[in-house]
Structure 1
């Protein structure tokens, strides 16, 4: 039996949809940007080079969980994988922020529409005759989003430490600030804003409370996160661009493309 727009009892029209605007533009832009990011991040993750320029470390490679890293005495390294890991150390850590973004409620909407046409836009039916939602493998794995959130917080804390040490010079003395410091600072602020604006974060803070009046502190936090949540889409894109730009900046400095301008 047909389902969806072809189900019995629904009005039948010859056209697939009645939208006359450029509804395809948004999913096309989404696909273009995400493909560009996937290509860039894949190249950088497997490059295993030019990700550290004292005192800056690329967010793709922090923290280093293997011993086959550049010498990064100022960064938050934790070589838990020892010397047996021969591939790029970025492949270990990127699974956590990648998992957080892949299971993010907004990103699901973005890439479902862009890559799978599920559906491409409002009032544009998807080409499939059946819909199972996220009840089967692999999409049922989207339920792990709340757990990836905890890992995302840990990653954000580590990136915050990287920003702190970016105020040192190459000798470890405090008082340094260059353009790279500002780049990493802007990135970590956007990462925190995106992470805290997450729907799971909002639920963890106040989702199970029955009486806000009995929990004034959590209520204040819930209000703050709720305001961020209204900008979750914008923060998702802004933080995606910022983390790529932060990595690109460190790469350019580490590869010798230009010297990091210092303010003091």
Structure 2
């Protein structure tokens, strides 16, 4: 026979606290910074995607990632995969890839946390009440579609391959090897995109999930350890890639618009 000790305060009603939170630090600052940062980036990216100009430098074959692969009639020399779409103003020149990239980012585990807290205030911070009266998690429409993140990862991998190809062919200048500041920016952007994509939680599960014995799968185990190290930096890489994407696009736009010439090291 066992007995259960009774705490002195057991059965008492919870103290009535009028304040919504007892936190006295600046808990609102991180979600505010996130809100401003994401809003600024989305605004810039949306404007650039629908500008339909200054996205390609033919002399060095610099193509901004916002327009890759370019598949409308406007693309000209930038069309590496043909031009199956018309050049209507409301059709992005990279219409086949942008929806998948947007889906990959929107369903990313870090970005979910970021915009849940900063845009939806659900909740805005730890120990701060949710701004909504009801909470159903990601079990109802439309948030139930967050579960397709694992499939969006595959599309993001294919797009990263395309971005890598864009960076490689940019080293060809007049049929010879060429190297400039634009090449450095393109390569850095691709490396960061690969790091962000591979640091994805879905990639980590694909690498090592459902394995009962790592010793029997040394290659997958090695890849899993690498991905796991990247995964700890997933949040930082999410922000870094937003920066490298914007920087790459802005630099190529400046060259295409004739604001300044590319700094060339070779040819």
TM-score (norm 1): 0.91
What secondary structure is seen at the aligned counterpart in 1 of 2:77?
coil
Tell me, in whole angstroms, the C-alpha distance in 2 between the residues paired with 1:12 and 1:177: 68
- Aligned pairs, number: 251
Residue 165 of structure 1 pairs with residue 180 of structure 2: no
Question: What is the distance in 2 between the residues matched to 1:131 and 1:92?
Answer: 35
Checking the alignment, whether the CA contact within 8 Å between 2:120 and 2:131 is kept in structure 1 is no
Q: In 1, Cα distance between the equivalents of 2:199 and 2:115?
A: 19
**1:69 and 2:75 matched:** yes
Counterpart for residue 179 of structure 1: 181
Q: Which runs of 4+ in 1 moved over 6 A?
A: none
SS for the counterpart of 1:71 is helix
Match of 1:209 in 2: 211
**Residue 147 (structure 2) pairs with residue 143 (structure 1):** yes
Task: Output the aligned Cα RMSD.
Answer: 1.5
Name which of 79, 84, 100 aligns with 1:96: 100
Q: What is the rounded CA distance, in whole Å, between the counterparts of 2:82 and 2:191 in structure 1?
A: 23
Q: Summarize the alignment of residues 104-253 of structure 1 with structure 2, pairs less than 5 Å apart.
A: 104-169=108-173, 171=174, 173-253=175-255
Q: For residues 67 and 10 of structure 1, do their structure 2 counterparts lie closer, same or farther at Cα, with a shift above 3 Å needed?
A: farther
Q: How far apart in 1 are the matches of 2:15 and 2:229? A: 41
Distance in 1 of aligned mates of 2:87 and 2:76: 16
Residue 252 and residue 10 in structure 1: after superposition, are their counterparts in 2 closer, same or farther (change >3 A)? farther
Partner secondary structure for residue 116 of structure 1: coil
The 8 Å contact of residues 62 and 76 in structure 1, kept in 2 or not, is answered as no
Deviation at 1:205, TM superposition (A): 0.9
Bigger radius of gyration among the two: 2
d(CA) in 1 for partners of 2:14 and 2:76?
Answer: 63
Structure 1, gaps ≥5 residues long? 1-8
Cα gap change, 1:257 to 1:10, in 2 (>3 Å): farther
**Displacement of 1:17:** 0.5
Deviation at 1:83, TM superposition (A): 3.7
Query: Taking structure 2 as the reference length, what is the TM-score of the superposition?
Result: 0.90
Contact 1:187 1:239 in 2 (8 A): yes
